[in-house]
Structure 1
Amino acid sequence: MSSPTQTPAHPCQGCGASVEYAPGTLALRCPYCGFEQRIAPPARQVREFSYDAFLAKPRVRALAPNRFSCPGCGARTESDALSRACQFCGTPLVADTAAEEQIAPEAVLPFALDRNGARHALRRYVRTRWFAPNRLKKVSEAETMKSTYLPHWTYDARTVSDYTGKRGEHYYVTTTRRGPDGRKTTRRERRTRWYPARGRVSRDFDDVLVPATRRLPADRLAKLEPWPLKQALPYEPAYVTGHHSLRYDVEPQTGLEQAKGIMAKVIEADCKRDIGGDVQRLLRVDTRYSDVRFKLMLLPVWVGSYVFGGRTYQVLINGVSGEVQGERPYSAVKIVAAVTAALALIACVVWLYQVYRA
C-alpha cells in the first residue's frame, strides 16, 4: 500500500499564494496580502470509535513515511509529520490521512493563541521565575517559536471495581507518664481501630487524555492541562495548514494502558470514599472495563526555545490557555540568599522561643 500524499494547497483568492490557518479564527489567512477565506463549518460531529472493533482489524506494525509533493516548487519529500512547510519554498503541506495503515485524526482543537500571544506568554513566564537570573527577562527578544499540533489519544470506558480493604476509625485514650524529673504528665493519644471492608464501585470515564507522541516529555505535556476538549472540532486539514503537526508514534494499545493507570487513581479514591471511616487501606482492587472507545485528537502547542548562558532551554505553551511549562536556569546567588534568609529566620524563632521559656 502506498504512503499517503498531501492534500492540495489552499490558494489565496486575492493573490494566489498559499493561505494558512489563522489562530483564534475560523478562517484561512494569506500571510502576504491578508485575504481571509472562511473555513466551512463541519458537516459531522466528533466521533468515538470502538476499541474492540479496532483490535479486530489487521494493522501494519510500522507506518511508512508520508510522501509530499510540493505544489509550489515541485519538490518531493518524505516525513512522519502530518503537516509541515516545504523545506525548499515554504509552501504549507498537509498529509492525506485517509490511508488505511494509519489512524486518522478525528478531532482537532485549533490554535487560539497566535505568535504574538505565545511571545507574551513566554515573557510573562520568564519574568515570574523567582530564582531565575535577572538577565533571563531579556530572552523574550530572541526566542524561537513553532506552532505544532501534538497527537493525543482520548479514551472513554465504563468501569466496575470490586475491592477489599480496611476501614480505620480513630479513638482517643488518656495516658499518664513520668518524666526524668519525676513529674507526671497526662496526654491524649490518638489510636485507630481497623475493621475489614469490601464493596463495589462504578464509574464512567470520558476523554481520558494520553499523549500519542514520545517526542516531548509526557510529564511536561501533562502540566499543560486542562484542555477545553469539548471545544474540539471534527478534523479538517484547513486547521493544520501552515502549522507543523506530528504523527502519532504511541499505539492505541500502549495509550490505553497509560489511560488505565490514570483511571486507577480515580477508582482508588472512589474505593476509599466508599470504605468511609477516618483512614482507609486498600488491599485489592479488581476493575472490569467495558464499552471502551477512543479517538485521535490534535492539540495545539507552541514549542519554543531560548538561549541563555550558552545553553538552549525548551518551553511548551498551551495554544489555547497560554500555560507555559519548560526548562529554566537558576540563579545560585538568589538560592543562597533565600536559604540564608530562611536559616536566619529559623534561628530568630528559636532564640525568641528560648527567651520566652526562660
Structure 2
Amino acid sequence: MTQSQYPCANCGANVEFAPGTTVLKCPYCGAETPLVPTGRQIREHSYTEFAGLPRKPIAALAPYTFTCKGCGAITQSDKISERCQFCGAPLVADVSDTDQVVPEAVLPFGVDRPALREALKKWVASRWFAPNGLKKVTEAESSHSTYLPHWTYDASTVSRYSGQRGEHYWVTETYTDNGETKTRQVQRTRWYPAGGTVARDFDDVLITGTTRVTAKYLDQLEPWPLPAAEPYRPEYLAGHETLRYDVEPETGLGAAKARMAPVIEGDCRADIGGDEQRVDEVRTQYDNLTFKLMLLPVWIACYLHAGRTYNIMVNGRTGEVAGERPYSAAKIAAAVTAAVLLIAAIVVLIVLDKRSS
C-alpha cells in the first residue's frame, strides 16, 4: 500500500489541511502550501455498470499498513487517514489501487478549532438542566476532526399508482339533547377509484456510509452544503481522521429508495387530488441511476459523566451541533422546588388579597 505525507518546504515537518482555507499549513512554523486546482471534476457513476463489476465486500478488505516517514513507526488501521500513534504525524492512505470504492468528492472542513469552541459554547449554554461539567466539551483537546463517508444517489423515477380519491360532502343529522330535538351538519366522505403516473428526478439523496457513528445525531447535522464539495484529493485529509465506509453501496441504495418513497407518495396524493387520498400501491421504475462516495466533515467530541460516555457531533462546515447530553438531578430538583415555592407564594398573595378586601 502506498501512502502520502506532505513535508513542509520551510522546516520539513508534516503539513496539515487548514479548515476554512485552501492551503496545507505547518503546525510548527506556520508556513503555508497552497492547494493548486487540479482541473478534475466530480463525476457521477452509473450504478448499473458498477453492479456488474467484480469486487470484494468491504468487510473482507485488509487494514491499511502505514509507515510513518517521520519516526519510522509501522501501524495498521482501517481508516483512510489518521495520525501516527507515536509521533502524531498525519498519514493518508492511497485508496486508488484497492478493491474498495474510491471517494469521488470531499467537502473540506470549514470550521476550525476556535469556531468549534464557539459552537460548543452556544450549544452547552442552551442545554437546560445540564451538569456544570458539560462545559468540558468546549475544550479543544476533547474533540477531533473526522471525515465521514456518505453515499449520494441520483435517479429519474416514474411511478404508477393506484388508490382512491375522497370527496367530502355534508348531511343533516338529527339528534336529541336533553329531550330536545336538534339538527347538525356532519361531514361524510365519498370515495372514488384513482390511478395514474407521476415522475420525479432525485439529486444527491444522502445516505450515511458508516455504522460507527450514531445516525440519529448525524442526520440532525443536515443540511450539508453539497454544492461546495471539491473533487477528492488526499491533501484535504492530511491532519484529519477519515473513516472507511462499512455500508455497502447496495445497502445504501436500499436506504436511498426508502427516503425517496414518501416523496413519491406525496406526488401520488397530489395527483389524486380531492379532499382526502388513499394510496394502495406504488410501482416505481428507477432510470439513470447514478451514485458516488463523498466525505463529509464532522467534529466529534466526547464527554464522560457518571461513568458514561456522551458523544457530540458538529457539522464541520455549518457549525450545527447535535448529540447526547446528561441531566443534572440537582438542577432539576432545584427547578421543581423553585416552581413549588413560586406557586405557594402566588397562592398566599391571593389569600391575603381576598382577606384585605
Q: Same fold (TM over 0.5)?
A: yes
1:33-81, CA deviations, whole angstroms, 9 ceiling, x for partnerless residues?
A: 1111101113111001011111111112321211211111111221110
- Tell me which residue corresponds to 1:356: none
Give the stretch that moved more between structures: 326-335 or 151-160: 326-335
Give the superposition deviation at 1:339: 12
- Tell me which residue corresponds to 1:290: 287
Alignment of 1:77-96 (within 5 A): 77-96=75-94
Q: Secondary structure at the match of 1:129?
A: coil
Counterpart CA distance in 2 for 1:133 and 1:176 is 60
- Tell me which residue corresponds to 2:232: 235
- Tell me which residue corresponds to 1:33: 29
1:279-318, CA deviations, whole angstroms, 9 ceiling, x for partnerless residues?
A: 1111000001111111100000001112234432110100
What residue ranges of structure 1 are gaps of 5+ in the alignment?
349-358
Q: Secondary structure at the match of 1:81?
A: coil
- Tell me which residue corresponds to 2:154: 156
Counterpart CA distance in 2 for 1:142 and 1:23 is 14
**127, 130, 134: which one pairs with 1:129?**
127
- Tell me which residue corresponds to 2:100: 102
**156, 159, 181: which one pairs with 1:184?**
181
Q: Is 1:206 aligned to 2:237, yes or no? A: no
Give the superposition deviation at 1:184: 3.1
Q: Secondary structure at the match of 2:80?
A: strand
Distance 1:96 1:141, change over 3 A: closer
Q: Which amino acid aligns with 1:24?
A: G
Counterpart CA distance in 1 for 2:48 and 2:337 is 56
Q: Which amino acid aligns with 2:55?
A: R
Percent of aligned pairs with the same residue? 59
- Tell me which residue corresponds to 2:352: none
Give the stretch that moved more between structures: 320-329 or 136-145: 136-145
Distance 1:241 1:267, change over 3 A: same
Q: Secondary structure at the match of 1:200?
A: strand
Backbone CA RMSD of aligned residues: 2.2
1:228-273, CA deviations, whole angstroms, 9 ceiling, x for partnerless residues?
A: 1111000011101000000011110111011010111111111111
Q: Which amino acid aligns with 2:39?
A: A
Give the stretch that moved more between structures: 187-196 or 153-162: 187-196
Give the stretch that moved more between structures: 98-107 or 308-317: 308-317
- Tell me which residue corresponds to 1:119: 117
Whether the 8 Å CA contact 2:159–2:197 is kept in 1: the answer is yes
Give the superposition deviation at 1:278: 1.4
**9, 17, 20: which one pairs with 1:13?**
9
Give the superposition deviation at 1:340: 11
Distance 1:137 1:86, change over 3 A: closer
Report the count of equivalent residues.
339
Q: State the TM-score, normalizing by the size of structure 2.
A: 0.90
- Tell me which residue corresponds to 1:60: 56
Q: Is 1:45 aligned to 2:37, yes or no? A: no
Give the superposition deviation at 1:5: 2.8
Counterpart CA distance in 2 for 1:262 and 1:65 is 32
Distance 1:52 1:133, change over 3 A: same
Whether the 8 Å CA contact 2:153–2:206 is kept in 1: the answer is yes
Give the superposition deviation at 1:330: 2.4
Whether the 8 Å CA contact 1:5–1:69 is kept in 2: the answer is no
**10, 13, 18: which one pairs with 1:22?**
18
Whether the 8 Å CA contact 2:117–2:140 is kept in 1: the answer is no
Whether the 8 Å CA contact 2:120–2:137 is kept in 1: the answer is no
Q: State the TM-score, normalizing by the size of structure 1.
A: 0.89
Counterpart CA distance in 1 for 2:331 and 2:278 is 43
